[in-house]
Amino acid sequence: MPKRTQEQAESKVRDDGSVQIVTPSGEILIKDKKQITKDKIRKFLLGTKEQEGFLKVFIIYALLICIGFIYIYPILHMVSTSFMTLDDLLDQSINWIPSSFNLDNYKQAATSMDFWGSFGKSIILAGVPTICNLISCSVIGYGLARFEFPGKKVVLGIIIFTFILPSQITMIPTYVLYSNMGILGTIWAFILPSLLGQGINAPIFILIFWQFFRQVPKVLIEAAQIDGAGFWKSFYRISIPSAAPAIITVSLFSFVWYWNESYLTQMYVAGVTVKSGWTSLIIQLDQFATNYSKYATTATNAVTNINESINMSGTMLSILPLLIMYFVLQRYFVESIDRSGITGE
């Protein structure tokens, strides 16, 4: 540090406002006011080695804000449209802010979707497989991380391969299998594969747990074993508590992915040709138009025809639970990937 100060240029303000600078090499530079302000502006805009220039920071902020706006534009559009009445929709002068705070669209969309019923079923359909996923993937991940056995690399290879392979290829025989087992159209069609480590995106979860358990110091587990803990006990008493971030990540993502899944849900649980009692908000949204027209014809009071606002309120309703969850648990969501250890340490 002291060396640095020695080398720094000495400057002295002269009477007429210009500055005399003595550079380390002994040269004497005289700069007048104009030059100094120019220098200052340049420094301010382009920055020095130590500090970022204003211009760069400004461009980054501007870009981020612009892209961010474009990014959430569909959501803003959806929110604003969902409150509009039919008159507002047709009125050219109204772009963003509806003339009145109108909740009718939501009411009608909610009744046609059977909001509360579908909501409860959605939670069960996403929650129960998530718990099964947690149990199976943590056990499998631990087995892969902690023990050495022949064929381990093959197992890891197959796990990665199953992630790449589209589910459509195994879908038809699985459908037949479920129907032979008599679990088609029940929630067991989701529980069974997730208990066996074959749920939706289960390879990712297994790899997350695998990555995580590898970081648990082996000494800790060996110490526990010397103290008399078996393999199983050292798993759930030592490894599981230290894997809390992985558990949070896996449960959040598993819940969100099961919630958003409509293709397989329709296929296995809700039924394609024969409808079972199961449904979810996302499936209701998929069939929104037909459901709504059915509702509109059977409703006793006057119902407006389906329009953009009602569509958007339906969409809003089906993502609202997840949105609330996201904003409440935002920290865990955003930090999840940091903590999951996918990116290495």
Question: What is the nearest approach in angstroms of another protein to the Cβ of residue 100?
Answer: 21
Contacts of 20 (CB under 8 A, 6+ apart): 11, 12, 13, 14, 28, 29, 30
CB closer to another protein, 301 vs 343: 343
Q: How far apart are CA 307 and CA 314, in angstroms?
A: 11
> Facing residues of 11 across strands?
21
Helix axes 202-214, 152-164, angle to 10 degrees: 140
CB closer to another protein, 68 vs 117: 68
Helix axes 115-146, 202-214, angle to 10 degrees: 40
Question: What is the nearest approach in angstroms of another protein to the Cβ of residue 327?
Answer: 8
CB closer to another protein, 102 vs 122: 122
Contacts of 114 (CB under 8 A, 6+ apart): 284
CB closer to another protein, 19 vs 319: 319
The residue with tokens 């009477």 is 15
Could you tell me the end-to-end alpha-carbon distance of the chain, in angstroms, rounded to an integer? 33
Question: What is the nearest approach in angstroms of another protein to the Cβ of residue 155?
Answer: 7
CB closer to another protein, 26 vs 166: 166
Question: What is the nearest approach in angstroms of another protein to the Cβ of residue 109?
Answer: 12
Q: Among residues 66, 103, 69, which one has the least CA distance to residue 84?
A: 103
Contacts of 335 (CB under 8 A, 6+ apart): none
CB closer to another protein, 175 vs 295: 175
CB closer to another protein, 2 vs 173: 173
Structure tokens at 168: 């459509």
Q: How far apart are CA 156 and CA 152, in angstroms?
A: 6
Q: How far apart are CA 137 and CA 255, in angstroms?
A: 14
Sign (positive or negative) of CA dihedral 167, 253, 291, 269: positive
Q: How far apart are CA 273 and CA 294, in angstroms?
A: 18
Question: What is the nearest approach in angstroms of another protein to the Cβ of residue 196?
Answer: 3
> Facing residues of 22 across strands?
10, 28
Question: What is the nearest approach in angstroms of another protein to the Cβ of residue 169?
Answer: 4
Question: What is the nearest approach in angstroms of another protein to the Cβ of residue 29?
Answer: 24
Question: What is the nearest approach in angstroms of another protein to the Cβ of residue 85?
Answer: 16
CB closer to another protein, 36 vs 322: 322
Q: How far apart are CA 305 and CA 296, in angstroms?
A: 7
Question: What is the nearest approach in angstroms of another protein to the Cβ of residue 163?
Answer: 6
